[in-house]
Amino acid sequence: MSKRGLACFIGLAGLVLGVVIGIQLDGIQLDGIQLNDFLGADSRDAQMASSPGMPDDAPVYRSGPFKVSVAVTPEVPEVGQNKLMVKVMDAHGKPLEDAQIQAFGQMSAMGTMPAMRTPAQLQRIAPGEYMGPMKLGMSGEWPLSVNIKKPGMGATALSFDMATGRPGLELTSGGTMVQSAGADTDSGEPKYHSGPFNLDVTVEPKAPQVGKNRLVISLNDEDGKSIARAKIHAQATMPAMGAMGAMQAPVTFKETAPGRYAGTFQLPMSGSWPLSIQIQKEGMGSQTISFDMATNRPGLQIISGAVAADHLGMQAAPTPPGTIMVDSHRRQLIGVKIGKVTYRDLTRRIRAVGQVVYNESKLSDVTLRFEAWIGELHADYVGKHVKQGDVLFTVYGPELLAAQQQYLEVLKSRSGLTDGLIDAARKRLLLWDMTPAQIDELERRGEPLDYVPIMAPRSGTVVEKHVVTGTANPVGKTLMRIADLSQVWVEAEVYEGELPLVKEGMLAVVTPPYLPGKMFKAKIDYVYPYLQGMTRTGRIRLTLPNSDGDLKPDMYAEVNLKADLGRRLVVPEEAVIFAGDERVVFEDLGGGRLASRKIKTGQRNEDYIEVLKGLQPGDKVVTSGNFLIASETSLKAGIQQW
């Protein structure tokens, strides 16, 4: 091969090898840096710089020594790649260079699935502005944490509520929203409004630490004048944990200038130290304000007793006593769920235990109005079914025999003067249970019967029998009882508290437990006007057809009633905590705030409880995780323990 041919071959091989290597190296990381980025960092910076910056209408938050704006693109976070933008400024709105920012979204562990964290790779795109990708691996709640540090200025941390499919970010802790980036936070206007007082509260260092700390309060009236010689008491309290009792760290104040009060306090250990401040001024009254404070976490977070104000005069909604902050991350860990207070048609199911009894209007007793002896017994066992007019038994009675003989003698001496005697003698036989047919037969035969048949007064079943052949029976003794079981009663016991909901004519479903799948529909015939003293229950009565004989007296049955309570204001049943005579719910005020509410309740069913006082339609309440929230509220906010 010639030298020229060899050179061409080597050149061609080098070209092919270069293309292959270029393809393989595209996207490979070198020490955490993309090779493309390493080879073309200027190109990457140009691309990031050309990306849209922080939106003009993005909220601005005051957090520690900084003003911060945070936004996400797209506005509604989605599964996959998203962009996070952070703008950092000083207190006067001037962009800050070389800020150290760490940001990540974290989905809490659920069941066997561990927690997932997705960091945002932020790069500088403009003075004070940082942007980078953030990949969300699945749909759901991804609480966002943003940590900012600037040498020589300090550090802060903000938390936001973020979720796929839900627009925007909602601040949960670490900052206070201001109107615009250009507003001057050091204008001297108080940070909080509480009753007649305007105040600014700061802690030094910004992130409280174990050991000595300093608390500074600037106090003004509504006209901005300093309030001197006020009495201020403050105390940080670590709640009891297990066998360890609660710990207090009191603050000793000294008025260093008119309206300016400073004091020190010692925190013996790290953790959460909720801070309570009481301000009292003669002629102005007193106010108590609660803050959430913890070691190694910058700043104070208002809990109750005051409202935060921006510097254009706009105020946040008042935060009532008994309010705590629970960010979205802790909500996921606790399992907090939210429901609404709404109007709805309320029905209540009433379950009562009933018993099948005889229909008392279809009972007949067989008795005699004269002394007699039983002859032949036809209805000879309890449970025998008889028809009206069937012979039950025959009886012999001297008085009945004499009455028959007297009737025959009066008939023999029949004349116009004896018609009255004949009628009286015939009526006597009728009253002694002889039938008209038997009396007519007596007239034709002309001789009295020794043993007279006694007929069944109704069709039914012999349920009681107190005679046998030859029994002697005195006047008025019950010999038999016959019950018509084609129709029976069910008597049920209803609890005293449910009795006012029960009305005559109300529909009911009767279910015998021993007849699976069989139900009887009925109406309430009667509500008895008294209570059973021992059980404190009221009795109701229903009438059921029983042509098949399935329902037998003394059988038990379950009676289900449905009371229509009308349209009422209700909350989910699981939202209400029963604490003695008190009924407590936790209202979601937004922004991570939860406030305890004492309410007055009315009627209830399995799913909802009526609210008579304490809530309004549309209010949001906690329906899951209530007891954990209640524990945190009583400890952090210092509300009265129920």
Q: Which residue has the higher pLDDT, 599 or 181?
A: 599
Measured CA distances, 247 to 241, 278, 456 (Å): 10, 18, 89
Q: Does domain 360-483 have CATH number 1.20.1560.10?
A: no
Task: Report the CATH superfamily, name and number, of domain 192-314.
Answer: Macroglobulin (MG2) domain (2.60.40.1930)
Q: Indicate the domain borders of the chain.
A: 47-178, 192-314, 337-346+566-636, 360-483
Q: How far apart are CA 565 and CA 562, in angstroms?
A: 9
For residues 398 and 427, is the Cβ–Cβ distance under 8 A? no
Q: What pTM does this model have? A: 0.53
Rounded Cα gap, residues 199 and 201, in angstroms: 7
Residue in the block written with tokens 């902050």? 325
The answer, yes or no, to whether residue 9 has pLDDT greater than 50, is yes
Q: Which residue has the higher pLDDT, 639 or 285?
A: 285
- Are 159 and 63 contacting, i.e. CB atoms less than 8 angstroms apart? no
Whether the predicted pLDDT of 288 surpasses 60? yes
Question: For residue 346, what pLDDT band results from cuts at 50, 70 and 90?
Answer: very high
User: Is 119 a residue whose pLDDT tops 80?
Assistant: yes
Residues 6+ apart with CB under 8 A from 619: 340, 341, 587
Q: Say whether 192-314 and 47-178 share the same fold.
A: yes
* Angle of helix 398-412 versus helix 436-445 axis, rounded to 10: 60
**pLDDT (average), residues 78-90:** 93
pLDDT(579) > 70: yes
Residue 332 pLDDT more than 50? yes
CATH class, range 337-346+566-636? mainly beta
Residue 585, token pair as written in the block: 């719910």
Please name the residue that has the structure tokens 């004896």: 418
Closest-CA residue to 403 (of 369, 429, 364):
429
pLDDT of residue 185: 41
CA–CA dist 265, 209 (Å, integer): 11
Indicate if the pLDDT at residue 578 is higher than 80.
Answer: yes
Question: Confidence band (pLDDT; 50, 70, 90) for 169?
Answer: confident
pLDDT at 23: 39
pLDDT in tens, 388-416: 999 999 999 898 888 888 888 888 877 55
Distance CA 367, CA 356 (A): 26
| Per-residue exposure over 86-106, b if at least 16 CB sit within 10 Å of its own CB, e if not | bbbbbeebeebeebebebbbb
Q: In what order do the strands lie in the sheet with 129-136?
A: 123-126, 129-136, 80-89, 66-73, 60-63, 176-178
What confidence tens digit (pLDDT) does each residue in 12-41 have? 555 444 544 443 444 333 333 343 443 344
| 615 vs 602: CA distance, rounded Å | 13
477, 371 contact by CB (below 8 A): no
Query: For residue 5, what pLDDT is reported?
Result: 54
Note the CATH architecture for domain 47-178. Answer: Sandwich (2.60)
State residue 638's pLDDT score: 46
